[in-house]
């Protein structure tokens, strides 16, 4: 099973954002006067879509643009790092002349903040605000394939969560489970399971 290009999820795949992202939601909800929420409740709301949608859900009412800014303010100074092996894997990918492509359910704004904080540069970034339907729909993977100029079947989408693998399947792409990520579920079907980031390079033809 070989593919032409790799596309990476961000949270839980490239970046260990296990603490920083849920904590930003918890603090933003408190600032907005919502009922207290736990980090686990924030994580459970991830499938809803972008941070703006998640925050409104957690607060329990529609929010104005200036109110959704609270999440980004709380995220701004968060400490986040790449998972072990990610920097080396992306460098090896570039050495092969391939793009570092990311599709994340997070907003482009939030993704850039986290990637910058972690010191990671990407060549193509698709955020949840670029698509109509969030994961597990395949919209983001299909858009990534289009931008890379590759048929969906020539893409491997690498992600830790079941939603990532379902999005890959919905797009007709290869779903590669990032077993190092915090939402990895060994029971979720995957075309390939990767024990470490460098193993993703083995998928390339």
| 108 burial type by CB count under 10 A (0-12 exposed, 13-18 middle, 19+ buried) | middle
Tens place of pLDDT for every residue, the chain, 205 residues?
Answer: 799 999 999 999 999 999 999 999 999 999 999 999 999 999 999 999 999 999 999 999 999 989 999 999 999 988 999 999 999 999 999 999 999 999 999 999 999 999 999 999 999 999 999 999 999 999 999 999 999 999 999 999 999 999 999 999 999 999 999 999 999 999 999 999 999 999 999 999 8
Angle, CA of 170, 176 and 177, to the nearest 5°: 105
**pTM value?**
0.95
Domain with CATH 3.40.50.1000 in the chain: 5-17+80-203
Question: By three-state DSSP, how is residue 61 classified?
Answer: coil
Of the candidates 133, 195, 178, 184, the one whose C-alpha atom is nearest the C-alpha of residue 162 is 184
Pairing of strands 124-126, 101-103: parallel
The CATH code that applies to domain 5-17+80-203 is: 3.40.50.1000
């Amino acid at each position: 099973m070989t593919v032409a290009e790799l596309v990476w999820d961000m949270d839980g795949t490239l970046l260990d954002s296990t603490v920083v992202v849920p904590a930003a939601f918890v603090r933003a909800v408190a600032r907005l006067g919502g009922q207290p929420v736990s980090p686990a409740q924030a994580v459970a709301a991830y499938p809803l879509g972008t941070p703006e949608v998640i925050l409104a859900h957690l607060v329990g009412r529609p929010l104005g643009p200036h109110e959704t800014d609270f999440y980004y303010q709380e995220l701004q100074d968060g400490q986040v790092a790449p998972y072990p092996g990610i920097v080396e894997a992306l460098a090896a990918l570039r050495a092969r002349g391939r793009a570092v492509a990311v599709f994340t359910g997070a907003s482009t704004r939030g993704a850039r903040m986290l990637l910058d904080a972690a010191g990671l540069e990407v060549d193509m970034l698709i955020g949840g605000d670029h698509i109509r339907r969030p994961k597990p729909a395949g919209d983001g993977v299909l858009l990534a394939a289009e931008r890379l100029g590759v048929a969906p079947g020539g893409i491997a989408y690498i992600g830790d969560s079941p939603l990532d693998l379902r999005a890959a399947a919905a797009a007709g792409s290869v779903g590669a489970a990032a077993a190092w990520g915090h939402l990895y579920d060994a029971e979720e079907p995957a075309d390939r399971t990767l024990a470490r980031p460098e193993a993703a390079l083995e998928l390339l033809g």
